[in-house]
Amino acid sequence: MTPVNGAWHLAARPAGIPQDSDFEWREGSAPAPADGQVLVRVEWLSIDPTNRVWMNDADSYMPKLELGSVMRGIAIGRVEESRYKGLAPGDAVQGLLGWQKYAVVNGASVTKLPSLPLPLSAHFGLLGHIGLTAYFGLTDIGKPKVGETLVVSAAAGAVGSLVVQLGKIMQLRVVGIAGGPEKCSRVVEEFGADACIDYKSEDLREALRRNCPSGIDIDFENVGGRVMEVVLERINLRARVVLCGMVSQYNAQRPEGVRGIERILVQRARMEGFIVSDYLPRAAEALKQMIDWHLAGRLKYKLDVVDGLEYAPQALRRLFEGTNQGKVVVRVSEE
Ligand SMILES: NC(=O)c1ccc[n+]([C@@H]2O[C@H](COP(=O)([O-])OP(=O)(O)OC[C@H]3O[C@@H](n4cnc5c(N)ncnc54)[C@H](OP(=O)(O)O)[C@@H]3O)[C@@H](O)[C@H]2O)c1
């Protein structure tokens, strides 16, 4: 029997933080898969700051999403019907399945997930695009050396909390930056940072001077804007600025520039941006280590689970309001 699908479509380009009216809920029968395609029942939807970037009327590292399309999103699900020889019913897959209950996609466009001693949702909290971003951003671009000082912004979030822990595993001094006392105490107590600065209530410049007495060797930059400007003021000779994200700018009609770039010149520092998909060919080397560290109790992840696809628009807003407590995922159906 053809399942009934429900999906969020992009109804309008947001001005600022996305509102409910920027999305439209539509229901209908899921189409039958054609040759080479599979029908997938979505179980987990990843809610990411980059979802907001995709809603703009401009191409980024991916083409812009057209108005009326199913909202683009990374999701995990189970194959229900397959007309693709590489996948069978029951296989768990991950890919751009969208904000919907059922997806019909080309079998070659999704990744079959291995069976691991972990729940499927770990592919969003620990592994997958979040884990690879943290691991390769820090190791390949940050090039950490024992004893160096690492500063991580949005340190209580999905990527940031993994970078903090990886930094400690790699024997760095790790200073997080996060919004609010509750997040900051989690960054220190649960994730093991040496210190965490509440940028909403502390004087960031003075707190960085106090907590990074030998300067900053690696800035793992998730936020951009004013936070990044103040961090750049303290970078050391040959520092590495890992430009992972600039979440403070994603809702801005006119993104602010970053002042203080001359510090990169004076300190002969290196600033490099990256997109996690660049590292997919090397995924196996990271995943093996991340799973081992997790099973050994050295690398934790925290999910912030929103139950029900109907709440996906609100879940996205929480990333920009800072009310998320870990990696935001929507449970679309039971695992
Ligand atoms: N390069 C890549 O391939 C790649 C891949 C994945 C993610 N990313 C980037 O990594 C960053 C973190 O993503 P995530 O998925 O881990 O999200 P997250 O950190 O779990 O959630 C976003 C956090 O950003 C902070 N934030 C939001 N608006 C802010 C503002 N105006 N000023 C300062 N902080 C603000 C909030 O934390 P506070 O409450 O602490 O302010 C919020 O909790 C994002 O910039 C994202 O685009 C990049």
User: H-helix or E-strand containing 68?
Assistant: none
pLDDT at 255: 86
**Ligand 1 center–CA 79 separation, angstroms:** 31
Residue 32 and residue 184: Cα distance in Å, rounded?
Answer: 48
Q: Which residues pair with 6 in a beta bridge?
A: 27
Contact 10, 21 (CB under 8 A): no
Ligand 1 within 6 A of 157 CB? yes
Residue 39 and residue 3: Cα distance in Å, rounded?
Answer: 10
Ligand 1 within 6 A of 156 CB? yes
Which residues of the chain form CATH 3.90.180.10?
A: 4-125+301-331
**Ligand 1 center–CA 154 separation, angstroms:** 6
Residue 64: exposure state from Cβ atoms within 10 A (0-12, 13-18, ≥19): middle
Q: At what angle do helices 181-189 and 158-169 cross, to 10 degrees?
A: 30
Q: What is the pLDDT along the chain (335 residues), one digit of tens a residue?
A: 678 999 999 999 999 999 999 999 999 999 899 999 999 999 999 999 999 999 999 999 999 999 999 999 999 999 999 999 999 999 999 999 999 999 999 999 999 999 899 999 999 999 999 999 999 999 999 999 999 999 999 999 999 999 999 999 999 999 999 999 999 999 999 999 999 999 999 999 999 999 999 999 999 999 999 999 999 999 999 999 999 999 999 999 888 889 999 999 999 999 999 999 999 999 999 999 999 999 999 999 999 999 999 999 999 999 999 999 999 999 999 87
Ligand 1 within 6 A of 46 CB? no
Question: Residue 246 CA: which ligand 1 atom is closest?
Answer: 45
Q: What are phi and psi of 42, to 5 degrees?
A: -75, 135
Question: Residue 137 CA: which ligand 1 atom is closest?
Answer: 1
**Ligand 1 center–CA 302 separation, angstroms:** 15
Which residues of the chain form CATH 3.40.50.720?
A: 128-277
**Ligand 1 center–CA 228 separation, angstroms:** 13
Q: Give, for ligand 1, the residue of 127, 222, 301 to mutate: max count of ligand atoms closer than 8 Å to Cβ.
A: 222
Ligand 1 within 6 A of 128 CB? no
pLDDT at 1: 67
**Ligand 1 center–CA 94 separation, angstroms:** 22
Residue 191 and residue 216: Cα distance in Å, rounded?
Answer: 20
**If you search the block for the tokens 């007495």, which residue do you land on?**
213
Contact 161, 187 (CB under 8 A): yes
CA 199 to chain centroid, in Å, comes to 20
**Ligand 1 center–CA 222 separation, angstroms:** 6
Ligand 1 within 6 A of 176 CB? no
- Architecture (CATH level 2) of domain 4-125+301-331: Alpha-Beta Complex (3.90)
Question: Is the pTM for the entire model greater than 0.85?
Answer: yes
DSSP 219: E
CATH of domain 128-277: 3.40.50.720
Ligand 1 within 6 A of 223 CB? yes
Residue 319 and residue 48: Cα distance in Å, rounded?
Answer: 8
Ligand 1 within 6 A of 49 CB? yes
